[in-house]
Structure 1
Amino acid sequence: MAASGLPPLPPQLKAVQHYLRTAQELDKREPVVAYYCRLYAMQTGMKTDSKNPECRKFLCKLMDQLEAMKKQLGDNEAITQEIVGCAHVENYALKLFLSADNEDRAGRFHKNMIKSFYTASLLIDVLTVFGELTDENVQHRKYARWKATYIHNCLKNGETPQSGPVGMEDEYNENEEADSQGLHNQEAQPSPSAFESGNVPASSFTGIHIPPGAHAPANTPAEVPHSTGTTSNAIQPTPQSIPIVDPSLYNVQAAGEMRLTPEDFARAQKYCKYAGSALQYEDVSTAVQNLQKALKLLTTGRE
């Protein structure tokens, strides 16, 4: 595959092709996510083969592309601050994941939903540029890849998939290149229902926890740019309900009276991170909820 401005992808770097293709698809809609997809591809390519002349030439061109993007997005905090960038990519991946899960739960099986599951799993891979994945994200990635493969194979064979995690004991083999190639190459039309529901359940399947605030913000467009004329039933947007600020939080403890642990500060920082990311999507309700959680933790030492 040859990305825009890049030479043909060497066979040795075949493992990064889906991430580069995802970056191309998101260049206009989500340039920050596209940037980190390319960064992940470059880091993975360097580990795979940086000595072969063909690979080195490709990776140098990819590095130039990254530098150009970084300069263009230089005033974006999601590029200059890793914690903001991590929150941005993570929330975007979980939006795709939860929109696909919502369609799956409703029994609406289509190519757009399959690709949302699969792309979400790729973006969770991309999160490793920021460090080790959380247990929740590891679970999300495994479930998303299994679900995408299962539904893809069912539709290909003319079978009706089962909603939810039924049958997950049949493990998905991540090395099945043919399946993953088919998943990424399939075309799908953006579904109006993909992100319009602002009240996606926080935890809608067995054994997998959705981090607080990491649900699909309302009124965000679907991300798959291709079209085959296949659509799904639309879910009407749910108006955002902005929570009332807890009056008890106004009684802030005086400085020095509350002793917080490093873990408390880390959790408060995570709530603020989710709030900031939610504001990028104008999701006021999620932002307020997470800011309240951070404030409560900082003023009472409890969640």
Structure 2
Amino acid sequence: MSLPPDLKLIAPFIKRSTELTAVQPTVAYLCKLYAAELILNNQLHLKAKDIETYALGLLDEIEKDKLALKETSEKSYNLINDPESSFKLVWGFATSIFNRSFNEIANHTASKKTVDNFKAALDFYQVLNLWPEQLDSRREELEKSKKYAKFHSMRILKALKNNQDPNDYVTPEEEREVGSWSQDQPQDDDDDDAVSLPEPPSEIRSPEKSEHASPVASPPLLPSAPDSLDESLNLPAAPAIIKEEPNKLGMPKAPVKLPKPSPPQAKAPEHPPLSKEDISEMIKTDEVISQAQKRAKFAISALNYEDVETAIKELQQALELLQGK
């Protein structure tokens, strides 16, 4: 399906889902699910016919992907139905990508790919909004990670644009270390002259591997992201034919009395041909039923991730359509 121009809001998550379909189908499914939630929560499917058509197609894809996960991996299927497990998977996956860029900055090997990975990590961190209850406990840590990624991404892009080395940069930690050497005494970590940057997520350790690091394996490098960060999911069997049993006793049947012929009856008047008004009314009825079915489908999708408010709105609209309001 081609993405309608007015759905730029979900473009990053559809892109990430496409990238991961073959290598990490569970995360790909969750990205697609988040994209669908954005459409429903923002009522975008009510704004244009092409968006509504796309949304319905996306919901069908999500259902097919869910069935595929159930058939191929019971563990993955149970995971996507458990908020706590789903949150941990996406958090670990996003952090593993974040770690790559973090280590490249620490080792002075930053490049355009560093920015690409920061952008991908930020997209996956955004998917965590599917589970607000789990996200609340880590929101402060997440905001620090976002600030860190955006600061260094803009710094690296600016250096590359000016044909400068993005690794010709002294971190606040290095500044403090140099200052302590020159003064031959320890320097306070809260020095006002140092650039204040947020700390990375608690899972990040650079460059050695930490025993507490996220167990999620690092995925393959993702395709390049845009240069700018501002461009930020059987019919039942027919009944058997009943055959009449033969006369088991072999008794002769009573003679059949033929009924007296009845006088011919007049034919019932034929139904008049359908008028244009009749056909128009039938088409209108079919359209109303079709629209009501769509509203009900959106409601079911909303309930799949406990969005009760959206489900109620969709069901109310379906009821109004059927009542002719």
TM-score, length of structure 2 as denominator length: 0.51
Q: Which one of 37, 59, 76 corresponds to residue 43 of structure 1?
A: 37
Deviation of 1:78 after TM superposition, in Å, equals: 2.2
In structure 2, relative to structure 1, the CA distance for the partners of 1:35 and 1:164 (3 Å cut) is farther
Contact 2:115–2:156 (8 Å) recurs in 1: yes
Select 1:63's aligned residue among 59, 62, 87: 59
Matching residue within 117, 135, 142 for 1:137: 142
Paired position in structure 1 for 2:101: 100
Q: Secondary structure at the match of 2:45?
A: coil
Q: Distance in 2 between matches of 1:206 and 1:125?
A: 18
2:202 equivalent to 1:210: yes
Q: Which runs of 4+ in 1 moved over 3 A?
A: 162-166, 205-209, 211-214, 216-221
Deviation string 1:224-256 (CA, Å, 9 cap, x unpaired) is 257xxxxxxxxxxxxxxxxxxxxxxxxxxxxxx
Residue segments in structure 2 that go unaligned for 5+ positions in a row: 173-196, 205-210, 225-325
C-alpha distance in structure 2 between counterparts of 1:29 and 1:129, whole Å: 22
| Contact 1:16–1:41 (Cα < 8 Å) also in 2 | yes
Residues 1:56 and 1:92: Cα distance change in structure 2 (over 3 Å): same
Q: 1:30 deviation in Å?
A: 1.1
**Correspondence list, 1:78-227, <5 A:** 78-131=79-132, 133=135, 134-161=139-166, 163=169, 206-211=198-203, 215=213, 217=215, 220-225=218-223
Q: Matches of 1:218 and 1:64 in 2, distance apart?
A: 29
Can you give the 5+ residue segments of structure 1 that lack an aligned partner in the other structure? 1-5, 167-204, 227-303
Higher relative contact order (CA 8 A, sep 6+): 2
The structural deviation recorded for 1:47 is: 2.9
Q: Which has the larger radius of gyration?
A: 2
Which deviates further from its counterpart, 14-23 or 105-114? 105-114
User: What is the percentage of aligned positions where both structures have the same residue?
Assistant: 25
Q: TM-score, normalised by structure 1?
A: 0.54
Kindly state the Cα deviation for residue 135 of structure 1 after the two structures are TM-superposed. 1.2
The whole-number CA distance in structure 2 between the counterparts of 1:56 and 1:33 is 25
Aligned residues of 1:105 and 1:164 also touching (Cα < 8 A): no
Q: Secondary structure at the match of 1:50?
A: helix
What is the aligned residue count?
182
Cα deviation per residue 1:242-296 (whole Å; 9 max; x = unaligned)? Answer: xxxxxxxxxxxxxxxxxxxxxxxxxxxxxxxxxxxxxxxxxxxxxxxxxxxxxxx
